[in-house]
Amino acid sequence: MKTGNVNTIKEFRLFNGLSDKELKLVSDIARRKNVDAGTAIIVEDETGDDLYLLEEGVVDINKTLTIMTSKYDSGTKERSFIRLTGEQHPYFGEMALFGKGERSATVKAVNECKLLMITSEDFRKLCDSEPRIGFIVVTNIALVLADYLRKTNEDVIKLTTALSLALSGE
């Protein structure tokens, strides 16, 4: 399978701060993967150990919600929360770099997508030989996750306030 290239890898926020030499080492472990429209790249609740970088195409990130259909009955529905495009240089599945665990959402190709895939095993081997790469990538992931957490906290406060007002009748 063909590997990525430095110019492509450089576009992803995940690798900000790496030197050209370090970017080359990352590109050497990134494998190209083409996915057809409608294909699930990551499936919620399945175990995964790959990180994906979206080069071209569009993906939807979906989450399964439990919906009360009656007082005693519930059902599930998949809902799309985020749409990502290759122009944004997004990545997903990054939590797999921290150990095998269940995927938190489904990522589905809206159209034909070109991806780069990095396995957690290849990433760990690279970090063993080049610890600075691991430090920088993990720091970049932490910065993004901190941004997500701040936004989530704001959303929870808004929802809690709205619910409190609705229940109090104001």
For the chain, the average pLDDT equals 89
Domains plus CATH for the chain?
Answer: 6-168 (2.60.120.10)
DSSP string, 132-147: HHHHHHHHHHHHHHHH
Residue 111, φ and ψ in degrees, nearest 5: -135, -175
Determine what percent of the chain is predicted with pLDDT higher than 90. Answer: 62
pTM (2 decimals)? 0.81
Contacts of 75 (CB under 8 A, 6+ apart): 66, 67, 69
| Residue scoring higher pLDDT (4 or 156) | 156
H or E element at residue 61: strand 58-68
pLDDT-based confidence at residue 148 (cuts at 50, 70, 90): confident
- Write out pLDDT tens, residues 61-96: 998 876 666 666 666 666 778 899 999 999 999 988
